[in-house]
Structure 1
Amino acid sequence: MNKLLFVFSIILAGMISCADDNSPKHLFNGDDMDQWHVQGELILSDHQIRMGEGSSILLKKGNYTDFELQMVVSTVDNGKGYIVFHTDDKGEKGYRVALDNDLKNAEWWTKTGSLLGVRNLTKSIVRTNESFDMTIRVEGQAITVLVNGSPVVEYIEPASPYRTAQNAQQVLSNGKFAVHCTEGGILIEAITVTPLNRKVDRNKQMASAIDETTDHIIRLHQENFPVLDYHVHLKGITAEQAAEQSRRYGINYALAPNCGIGFPITTDEEVIQYLEAMQGQPFIQAMQGEGREWPETFSREVRDRFDYVFTDALTFTDTKGRRTRLWMPEEVFIENEEQYMDLIVQKIVDVMQEPMDVYVNPNFLPDVMNDRYDQFWTEERMDKVIDALVASGKILEINHRYKIPHKAFILKAKEAGLKFTFGTNNADGDFGKLEYCIQMKDECDITATDMYKPNIKD
C-alpha cells in the first residue's frame, strides 16, 4: 500500500511540475518547421527561416496567456511584417508587433517594436539587414516590447480599452503566435517562448493604466495617425525620463537641442558630441537654430546630420538696430502697433530663406499685442506668410505651448497644401499631451498625409 502511495505521489508531482513548467520552449531551433503551419514562400536553410513577401507561419499547438516570447530576427532588404500573439487558428485576433526598419516607407510611424494601433513608434533603434533580439512579454494586463534588451513599448491594457470596429479583436486574451511577412523578406534565427504563471496584481496594474475612454492619444494610434511631438527639449527632464514618459503616454518625441550663440550648443564639435551621445536612443533628432546667426555658426554638413532643422522668427533686429526677442517685454519696442505688426510679418517672411525645414512658434505676438491676436493677423498678413511658406517649401508647426497659430491660419495653410508638425516647445518636464495640436487636427481635418515626414537618418 505504501509503495502504491509512493508511486502515485511521484506521478502527481510530475503532473504538477508539467502544469507549472516555466522552462523555455524552442518553437524553432533551426532544424525543421514541424511546429508551424506554413503559407507562402518560405525557405529553411542554414538553420534559419527565410520568409518571402506574403508568407506567414502560425503555431500549430499551444495556448499562451502570460509569456515571454524571444526571437532573433532581421528584416532583409527593407522587408516588413509583424508578429502576432494571442491569436486563433485563423490568425485573425490578437495584438501585432511590427517588424519594419525601412527609412523610406511612406507609413513611417510604425517602426520595429510598434504595438500596432496601440503604441506606434516613429523611430527604429535597429537597421535593415541587421540581426536583433525581439522580446514580447505579457504579464497580466502589461505588455512590454524590448528590442536588443531595451524597452520600446510598455503598455497596460485598461479595463475599457478604446478600440475602433476594425481593431475590436486587438485585446488581451490567450492563444497562439504567428509571423507575417508583408513585403520584402524576414529572416528568423530562433523562436523561444517561456510561459509565465507568476501571480500578478491585476487591480494594481489597472490602477496605473491610462483611462482610454478619455485619452486622445490612443485614438490617434487607432486611426493610424503619426503620434509624434516634433518639438521637445530636455528642460526639466532627462533623456531617460523622456523615454519613460514617451512609453507611458504613447507619444514619440523628437528631441531638439538649442543651437546658437549664447545657447547650450555653439559649435560643430558640440553638435557632434551631442549626436554621438544620442546614438541608439529612441528619439528622432531635431536641431533648433537660435538667433539669426545660426546658419553661419554651424556648417551645412553638421546641420544635415539632424533628421530635420527648425527655427522661429522671434529673434531679430528692429528698424533702429535694436536686438529684439519677442517673448521678452523689455526687448519689444513699439511706437506704432500696425507698423510693428508689419515688421513682424516681414521678419517671418525673411526667415523662410534660412536653411531650415520647419517654421516653429508660428505667428507669435508679444504679450502687449497678443490679446488682439486675430485683429492683427489680417487676411492679407496671413496670406503673405503662407505664400512665403509655400514658395520656400517650409513646414508649419502647430504649437501647443502658445496655442498658435489660430484656426483661421491653419485652415488657410491646409488649403495651400502645406505640411504640418505638432510641437509642445516645453519649458519644463510637465508639457502635456499635445492637446491644442489635437484640437486643431480635429477642427481642421488634418490627416496623416498632411503631416511632415522627417528625413530620419540611420
Structure 2
Amino acid sequence: MNKVVLFLSILLMGIYSCTGDNSPKSLFNGENTDQWETQGNVAVENGIITVNNGAALVLKKGNYSDFILKVKARTVGNGKGFIAFHTDNAADGYRVALNNDLESAEWWTKTGSLLSVRNLAKSTVKTDEWFDMDIQVEGKAITISVNGNPVVEYIEPTAPYRTAEHSSKLLSSGKFAIQSSEGTIEIESIEVTPLKTNPDIAQQQLLAIDETTDHIIKLHQDNFPVLDYHVHLKGITADEAAKQSRKYGINYALAPNCGIGFPITNDEEVIEYIKEMEGQPFIQAMQGEGREWPQTFSAEVREKFDYVFTDALTFTDTKGRRTRLWIPEEVYIENEQEYMDLIVQKIVDVMQEPMDVYVNPNFLPDVMNDRYDEFWTEERMDKVIKALVETDKVLEINNRYEIPNKAFILKAKEAGLKFTFGTNNGDGDFGKLEYCIRMKEECGITAEDMYKPNMTI
C-alpha cells in the first residue's frame, strides 16, 4: 500500500471512530439502566423500566444531533411525563409528551406533543396500552410519529419565537432524558440511530413558518389550547386536513353535519362515520342541523362524539315558514325590531336542546348585519347570556363570520361562560383563527376559559 493510500485509510478510520456508524443502538438491554443516570424512583423488572412520580433517566454518554429515536412505552393510569432530546439533563432541550390522561386539567398536551411548540389536543393511543413512538431530527426538521403515524412535522425557522421560559427549546445536540412528571411511565425498549445525512437546511427553512409574525406559536408558548373546535371536511380530505394541522400547529375538531337532508341522517350512519374515524388525530364533534336533530339521533349515539353543537340559524317563523338565516330568500322581514326579537327568542329556545356548544352565535341575516351592534342591545345580549348560563352551554367565537362582537364576549366572560374557537369553513381553507385570537387578546381570555371536550381517546 503506498503512503498516500495508507494516509487516507488512517484518516478515514479516525473520522469513522469519532463519528461512529449509523446503525441502530439499543439504549436499554432489558436488564439494567447502566447507560443512564437515574434520579428518583426508577426500577427495572421483567425487562421493563418503571419511572415513577417525578423520577428521571438521563443518558450518560453521547452527543446526538440528527437521529431517529425509537421508544416503546406506555403510561399507567394518569401517569404522564416526557422524553427530552438535545439536552444535558431533564430540565432543558426539546420535550415530547407522554400523556394519555383524559382527566388532566391541561388536556391539550397529549402523547406526541412537541411541548410548547406543537401541542396536541388528541391522543391516538390509550393509557395502559403499549405504543411505539419515533422521534426524528434531521437538520431543522423534527418529525414525531406514534404507532407509525406522523403527529408532528415541525421545521425550526431561522428566527424561532421562544419566550424566556422556553428559550432552551432549540435544535442543537446533546443527550436524551425521560422523566415522569406524575404517576408512572413504563419503557420496554429505547433505540437510537444516528443520521449522517446532510439535509439542505436553507431549503428546509424556506418551508418553515415565519414565527416572528405567527400567532399560533405564541399560543403554544403561552400553554394555551390551540384547537379549532368547528371544521368540516369540505373541499378537503381527512388526510389533507391532518397534514394541514401538522403544518400550522392547529388541532382540529371535525364535525359532520347531522340532520335531515345532510350527509349524516340517522344513527346507523353516525356509527359508520365514527368507525371510519378510529385512529384519526381529530377530536370528533357533531353538528346538529335543523330543529329536528334531537329526535333524529338517539342520546346513545350522540354521546359517541366528544361534544355536540348546533346553531339557531334554522327555525320556523311566526307564520310557519321555514327560515334559514344565511339564505336571503328564506328571510321574511316585515318589521326589523320585531324580527330581531324573534331571532333572540329562537336562540333562547335552542338552549333547551341537548347540545354542549352554541355556534355561529348571534348571527344576523345580510340585510341586518351591517347594523349588528345596533340590533344587539344590552337587553338582548343579557337575555341570551342568561339562557346560556342557565342551561350550562358553551359559547363559540366564530372566525368565519367574526361573531359575536366584543361587547357580547366580554359580557359572556364576566358571566363565567366557557368558550370555543371555531371556523365553520365552507371549503378547504380553514384559516388560522385570526378573529378568535384577536378576541382572546382584547377580552383577556385564558386557557381556563376554554371548553374541555369530553374526549374518550
Normalising by structure 2, what TM-score? Answer: 0.98
Amino acid at match of 2:179: H
1:82 aligns with 2:87: no
Determine helix, strand or coil for the equivalent of 1:74. strand
Aligned match of 1:257: 256
Determine helix, strand or coil for the equivalent of 1:342. helix
Aligned match of 1:312: 311
Aligned match of 2:434: 435
Please report how far the alpha carbon of residue 457 of structure 1 lies from its aligned counterpart in structure 2 after TM superposition: 1.3
Aligned match of 1:67: 67
Please report how far the alpha carbon of residue 234 of structure 1 lies from its aligned counterpart in structure 2 after TM superposition: 0.2
Task: Summarize deviations over 1:222-273 as a string: whole Å, max 9, x none.
Answer: 0000000000000011000000000000000000000000000001000000
Aligned match of 1:225: 224
Aligned match of 2:57: 57
Amino acid at match of 1:422: F
Determine helix, strand or coil for the equivalent of 2:294. helix
Determine helix, strand or coil for the equivalent of 1:134. strand
Amino acid at match of 1:44: V
Please give the alpha-carbon distance, in whole angstroms, between the structure 1 residues aligned to 2:20 and 2:295.
66
1:386 aligns with 2:385: yes
Amino acid at match of 1:215: D
Amino acid at match of 1:21: D
Please report how far the alpha carbon of residue 331 of structure 1 lies from its aligned counterpart in structure 2 after TM superposition: 0.2
Please give the alpha-carbon distance, in whole angstroms, between the structure 2 residues aligned to 1:12 and 1:409.
72
Please give the alpha-carbon distance, in whole angstroms, between the structure 1 residues aligned to 2:161 and 2:5.
54
Q: Contact 1:158 / 1:209 at 8 angstroms: preserved in 2?
A: yes
Please give the alpha-carbon distance, in whole angstroms, between the structure 2 residues aligned to 1:370 and 1:7.
83
Please give the alpha-carbon distance, in whole angstroms, between the structure 2 residues aligned to 1:10 and 1:440.
65
In structure 2, the CA distance between the partners of 1:336 and 1:179, relative to structure 1 (3 Å rule), is same
Please give the alpha-carbon distance, in whole angstroms, between the structure 1 residues aligned to 2:5 and 2:161.
54
Please give the alpha-carbon distance, in whole angstroms, between the structure 2 residues aligned to 1:3 and 1:50.
56
Please report how far the alpha carbon of residue 68 of structure 1 lies from its aligned counterpart in structure 2 after TM superposition: 0.5
Determine helix, strand or coil for the equivalent of 2:187. strand
Task: Summarize deviations over 1:288-324 as a string: whole Å, max 9, x none.
Answer: 0000000000000000000000000000000000000
Q: Contact 1:86 / 1:173 at 8 angstroms: preserved in 2?
A: yes
Amino acid at match of 1:325: R
Aligned match of 2:368: 369
The 5 A counterparts of 1:444-455 are 444-455=443-454
Please report how far the alpha carbon of residue 11 of structure 1 lies from its aligned counterpart in structure 2 after TM superposition: 4.9
Aligned match of 1:123: 122
Task: Summarize deviations over 1:143-169 as a string: whole Å, max 9, x none.
Answer: 010001100000000000000011111
1:324 aligns with 2:323: yes
Please give the alpha-carbon distance, in whole angstroms, between the structure 2 residues aligned to 1:5 and 1:162.
50
Q: For structure 1, which runs of at least 5 residues remain unmatched after alignment?
A: none
1:147 aligns with 2:146: yes
CA RMSD of aligned residues (A): 1.3
Please report how far the alpha carbon of residue 41 of structure 1 lies from its aligned counterpart in structure 2 after TM superposition: 0.5
Amino acid at match of 2:52: G
Please identify, of 20-29 and 383-392, the stretch whose mean Cα deviation from structure 2 is larger.
20-29
1:24 aligns with 2:24: yes
Aligned match of 2:107: 108
Amino acid at match of 1:161: P
Please give the alpha-carbon distance, in whole angstroms, between the structure 2 residues aligned to 1:375 and 1:3.
93
Please report how far the alpha carbon of residue 91 of structure 1 lies from its aligned counterpart in structure 2 after TM superposition: 3.3
Please report how far the alpha carbon of residue 5 of structure 1 lies from its aligned counterpart in structure 2 after TM superposition: 8.0
Please give the alpha-carbon distance, in whole angstroms, between the structure 2 residues aligned to 1:305 and 1:314.
25
Q: Contact 2:90 / 2:179 at 8 angstroms: preserved in 1?
A: no
Amino acid at match of 1:310: F
Determine helix, strand or coil for the equivalent of 2:27. strand
Determine helix, strand or coil for the equivalent of 1:327. coil
Please give the alpha-carbon distance, in whole angstroms, between the structure 2 residues aligned to 1:337 and 1:13.
85
Amino acid at match of 1:380: E
Please give the alpha-carbon distance, in whole angstroms, between the structure 2 residues aligned to 1:74 and 1:12.
44
Please report how far the alpha carbon of residue 9 of structure 1 lies from its aligned counterpart in structure 2 after TM superposition: 6.3
Please report how far the alpha carbon of residue 16 of structure 1 lies from its aligned counterpart in structure 2 after TM superposition: 4.0
Please give the alpha-carbon distance, in whole angstroms, between the structure 2 residues aligned to 1:386 and 1:95.
42
Q: Contact 1:20 / 1:197 at 8 angstroms: preserved in 2?
A: no
Task: Summarize deviations over 1:48-87 as a string: whole Å, max 9, x none.
Answer: 1011111000000100110110000000112100000000
Please give the alpha-carbon distance, in whole angstroms, between the structure 2 residues aligned to 1:29 and 1:153.
29
Q: Contact 2:71 / 2:134 at 8 angstroms: preserved in 1?
A: yes
Please give the alpha-carbon distance, in whole angstroms, between the structure 2 residues aligned to 1:410 and 1:127.
36
Please report how far the alpha carbon of residue 92 of structure 1 lies from its aligned counterpart in structure 2 after TM superposition: 3.1
Please report how far the alpha carbon of residue 285 of structure 1 lies from its aligned counterpart in structure 2 after TM superposition: 0.1
Amino acid at match of 2:56: S
Q: Contact 2:66 / 2:195 at 8 angstroms: preserved in 1?
A: yes
Please report how far the alpha carbon of residue 7 of structure 1 lies from its aligned counterpart in structure 2 after TM superposition: 7.2
Please give the alpha-carbon distance, in whole angstroms, between the structure 2 residues aligned to 1:67 and 1:40.
28
Please give the alpha-carbon distance, in whole angstroms, between the structure 1 residues aligned to 2:2 and 2:157.
52
Amino acid at match of 2:258: C
Aligned match of 2:298: 299
Determine helix, strand or coil for the equivalent of 1:218. helix
Task: Summarize deviations over 1:77-128 as a string: whole Å, max 9, x none.
Answer: 121000000002x433210000000000000000000000000000000010
Determine helix, strand or coil for the equivalent of 1:28. coil
Please report how far the alpha carbon of residue 136 of structure 1 lies from its aligned counterpart in structure 2 after TM superposition: 0.4
Amino acid at match of 2:301: V
Please give the alpha-carbon distance, in whole angstroms, between the structure 1 residues aligned to 2:7 and 2:289.
79
Please give the alpha-carbon distance, in whole angstroms, between the structure 1 residues aligned to 2:98 and 2:381.
43
User: Which 4+ residue blocks in structure 1 deviate beyond 3 angstroms?
Assistant: 2-18
Figure out how many residues of one structure are paired with residues of the other and give that number: 456
Please give the alpha-carbon distance, in whole angstroms, between the structure 2 residues aligned to 1:63 and 1:258.
51
Q: For structure 2, which runs of at least 5 residues remain unmatched after alignment?
A: none
Determine helix, strand or coil for the equivalent of 1:361. coil
Amino acid at match of 2:233: L
Amino acid at match of 1:39: Q
Normalising by structure 1, what TM-score? Answer: 0.98
Identity value in percent: 71
Please give the alpha-carbon distance, in whole angstroms, between the structure 1 residues aligned to 2:394 and 2:27.
48
Q: Contact 2:132 / 2:148 at 8 angstroms: preserved in 1?
A: yes
